[in-house]
Amino acid sequence: MKITYHGQSCFVIESGEHRLIIDPFLSGNEKAVIKPEDVKVSYVVLTHGHADHVLDAEAIARNNDATIIAANELAVYYARKGLKIHPLGIGGKADFPFGRVKVTLAFHGSGVETEQGLVYVGPPVGYLLTIEGKTIYHAGDTGLFGDMKILGELNQIDLALLPIGDNFTMGPEDALIASEWLRAKTVIPMHYNTFPLIAQDGAQFVQDLKTRGIQGVELKIGETYEL
C-alpha cells in the first residue's frame, strides 16, 4: 500500500486497483505538485467542510465519477450537487471494496463557504481506515482530546496522520502527546507549512517522536510512504 502526501491534510492512498484521496486541497495550494485534473481515484474522503480540505472535492469526484465519503451533512451537501455519496456518522463504520472506514471524533469546526455565506455541514471527523489488514488513522483537523487514549487501546494503529500546525489544530507539543496515547507504530505530521500561521518544523517533530520511542516520518509534498 502506498500513501502519498500532497500538502496540508491531503493524501492519496493506493491499494492494488483501488485509489482514494483524503481532503483534496490542490488548486488552492501553491506548493502542490499535482492538479485536480491529474487525480484518478474512486473515492474522495472528507474530514470536514473547510476550503483547505474540500476545495477540489467536487471537481475530482465529477471527473472520476467517484463516491464522496463524509459525515452525513457534508455528504448530503454534495449529493445535492448530483454527486455520489456514502454518508457516515461518528462511531459508524462501513465496508468498501478497498477496506473498512470507521468515523472518529475530531474537535474543530465545519462549514462550507457559499454565495449565501457560511453553511454548517455537520461535525468535523477523523477516520480509521483498515486497508490490507493495516490501520491508518487520519485525525482530520483537531485539538488533543482524551479519547485518543481509547482509540489507541481499542485499535492497533499502524500509521497515524496528525496535524501539527497549531493555531487551528494541535501544535507539535500536543501532537506528541497524541502520538503516545494512540500507540501508533508510525506517525506522519500534516496540516503545517501551507501558510505562515501554521509554520512548523516537521523534521524537529519527527526527532522529538524518536526521543519518545516512536517512529516518525516527515513526508515532503509529493513523497510516498509504503505501509
What is the predicted pLDDT for the residue at 193? 98
- Is the pLDDT at 116 greater than 90? The verdict is no
Indicate the pairing of strand 2-5 with strand 224-226: antiparallel
Is the sign of the CA dihedral 66, 4, 28, 192 positive or negative? positive
What is the predicted pLDDT for the residue at 71? 98
Question: What residue type is assigned to position 68 of the chain?
Answer: I
Q: How does pLDDT run across 152-207, given as a tens digit for each residue? A: 999 999 999 999 999 999 999 999 999 999 999 999 999 999 999 999 999 999 99
Rounded distance between C-alpha atoms, residue 22 and residue 44, angstroms: 6
Rounded distance between C-alpha atoms, residue 187 and residue 134, angstroms: 14
Structural domains of the chain sorted by starting position, each given as residue range(s) with its CATH number in brackets: 2-220 (3.60.15.10)
Q: How does pLDDT run across 61-108, given as a tens digit for each residue? A: 999 999 999 999 999 999 999 999 999 999 999 999 999 999 999 999
What is the predicted pLDDT for the residue at 115? 86
Cβ atoms 90, 103 nearer than 8 A: yes
Cell of 24: 483534496
Question: What residue type is assigned to position 151 of the chain?
Answer: L
- Global pTM? 0.98
Cell of 137: 488513522
What is the predicted pLDDT for the residue at 8? 98
Max Cα–Cα distance, the chain, nearest Å: 49
